[in-house]
């Protein structure tokens, strides 16, 4: 029995920051949108991430998107009705050796022209600015306009803003079936009472995060995506001492202090409980705590009060899939952000909206085409599992 039927211009699967910001951008262009989210918008990666809003450290391929996102983050209140605790606090990437420092210098040289304004800081200046840093730090690179935000506030706010702008946002509505042909797409969701909800649209955005591979595979574009689960922890509040969000060259730990005094820490990998749920792993948290104390010795007295993780999609080259399907007209992909999609999410949403309206993006996205995973014509491709396999190594922020 069909309980409800929607006919729209664009249907979106997934209400993370990517799908929700696409819905908002599409409404601002005047297109009709229906977004289907199986849980609550922003309840997955987009709402449980570390909250790093940084451009520094990204590959050159992502910097145009990151710059576009940087501009959007700067007008968050006007766009989504909250600042989401977003601050341009600065992002400081720490070097623990001369080799790390040389690597930061090279990154600074290659990213000239992207307005990152990276400043290398060493020696007495480092100690004067960061008296709380442990002895292992030899220097670092400051991106003064990078920052941090509260993902629990920002990501759902994009969905609410899309709704206020006229998008139909259907939460607790899993997309169980997608049928696509040259006339467009029909999406079906069944509830426990056996009622079916149906959405019809000529355009479909695949924004299903770590679970997006299934839809891509259904339309002949399997991708080697794996799930990753960054380990996260937060301390009790301690007196405020640090404005910057910290990362370290080579990875291992990242850390920021919120206005209430708690330090949010990330690093290493948690584990999957099932295809949908993940948690931090005891070993990862033990290592994270040791690294935190090495980085900031005063943390030896701070209690960790909570740990968590999330489920994120990683492709082998750590670049997302963003662009039109090569096999199915009207299908547009935006997924696989490899632990770094929160900052670029709002720009990705705008790009997806441009692709839906114009068929092309005003920001370069050639590096992210799904065709890079196309199997050579002679080879056989194995079907991918709905629950992506987990990977041990995660990118760092």
Ligand X SMILES: Cc1cc2nc3c(=O)[nH]c(=O)nc-3n(C[C@H](O)[C@H](O)[C@H](O)COP(=O)(O)OP(=O)(O)OC[C@H]3O[C@@H](n4cnc5c(N)ncnc54)[C@H](O)[C@@H]3O)c2cc1C
Judged by the rule CB under 6 A, the positions of this chain that interact with ligand X are 13-19, 36-39, 43-46, 48-52, 174-175, 207-211, 230, 232, 266, 309-310, 312, 335, 337, 339-343, 345, 397
> Which residues fall within 8 angstroms of residue 313, CB to CB, at 6 or more apart?
209, 210, 211, 212, 213, 225, 226, 227, 228, 335, 336, 337, 338, 388
Least Å distance, CB 378 to ligand X, is 32
The answer to whether 397 and 274 have CB atoms below 8 angstroms apart is no
Residue of this chain nearest to ligand X (CB atom): 16
Least Å distance, CB 277 to ligand X, is 11
Return the DSSP state at 298: G
Nearer to ligand X, 139 or 336 (CB): 336
Residue 105 burial (CB count, 10 A): 15
Least Å distance, CB 308 to ligand X, is 7
**b vs e for 373-395, b when ≥16 Cβ sit within 10 Å of the residue's Cβ?**
beeeeeeeeeebeebbebbeebb
What's the distance, Cα to Cα, between the start and end of the chain in Å? 48
> Which residues fall within 8 angstroms of residue 230, CB to CB, at 6 or more apart?
49, 50, 266, 267, 268, 269, 270, 309, 310, 312, 339, 394
Least Å distance, CB 147 to ligand X, is 11
Least Å distance, CB 127 to ligand X, is 27
Nearer to ligand X, 255 or 299 (CB): 255
Nearer to ligand X, 96 or 256 (CB): 256
Least Å distance, CB 130 to ligand X, is 21
Nearer to ligand X, 244 or 337 (CB): 337
Nearer to ligand X, 67 or 97 (CB): 67
Partners of residue 230 on adjacent β-strands: 269
Nearer to ligand X, 204 or 296 (CB): 204
As a whole number of angstroms, the distance between CA 148 and CA 292 comes to 18
- Cα 291 to its chain centre, rounded Å, is 24
């Amino acid at each position: 029995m069909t309980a409800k039927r929607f006919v729209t211009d664009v249907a979106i699967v997934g209400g993370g920051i990517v799908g929700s910001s696409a819905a908002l951008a599409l409404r601002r262009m005047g297109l009709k949108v229906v977004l289907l989210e199986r849980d609550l918008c922003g309840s997955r990666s987009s709402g449980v991430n570390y909250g790093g809003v940084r451009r520094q450290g990204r590959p050159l391929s992502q910097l145009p998107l990151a710059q576009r996102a940087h501009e959007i983050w700067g007008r968050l209140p006007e766009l989504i009705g909250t600042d989401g605790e977003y601050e341009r606090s600065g992002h400081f990437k720490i070097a623990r050796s001369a080799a790390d420092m040389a690597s930061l210098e090279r990154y600074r040289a290659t990213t000239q022209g992207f307005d990152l304004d990276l400043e290398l800081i060493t020696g007495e200046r480092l100690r004067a600015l960061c008296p709380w840093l442990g002895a292992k730090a030899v220097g670092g690179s400051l991106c003064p306009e990078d920052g941090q935000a509260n993902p629990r506030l920002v990501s759902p706010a994009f969905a609410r803003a899309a709704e206020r702008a006229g998008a139909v946002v259907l939460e607790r509505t899993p997309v169980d079936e997608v049928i696509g042909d040259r006339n467009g797409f029909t999406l079906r969701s069944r509830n426990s009472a056996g009622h079916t909800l149906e959405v019809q649209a000529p355009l479909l955005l695949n924004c299903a995060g770590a679970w997006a591979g299934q839809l891509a595979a259904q339309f002949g574009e399997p991708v080697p995506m794996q799930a990753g689960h960054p380990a996260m922890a937060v301390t009790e509040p301690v007196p405020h001492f640090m404005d910057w969000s910290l990362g370290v060259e080579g990875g291992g730990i990242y850390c920021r202090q919120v206005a209430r005094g708690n330090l949010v820490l990330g690093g290493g990998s948690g584990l999957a409980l099932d295809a949908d749920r993940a948690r931090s792993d005891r070993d990862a948290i033990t290592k994270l705590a040791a690294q935190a104390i090495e980085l900031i010795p005063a943390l030896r007295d701070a209690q960790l009060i909570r740990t968590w993780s999330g489920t994120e999609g990683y492709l082998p080259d750590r670049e997302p899939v963003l662009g039109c399907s090569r096999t199915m007209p009207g299908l547009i992909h935006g997924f696989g952000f490899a632990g770094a999609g929160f900052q670029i999410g709002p720009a990705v949403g705008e790009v997806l909206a441009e692709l839906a309206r114009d068929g092309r993006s005003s920001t370069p996205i050639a590096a992210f085409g799904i065709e890079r995973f196309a199997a050579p014509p002679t080879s056989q491709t194995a079907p991918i599992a709905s629950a992506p396999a987990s990977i041990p190594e995660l990118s760092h922020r």
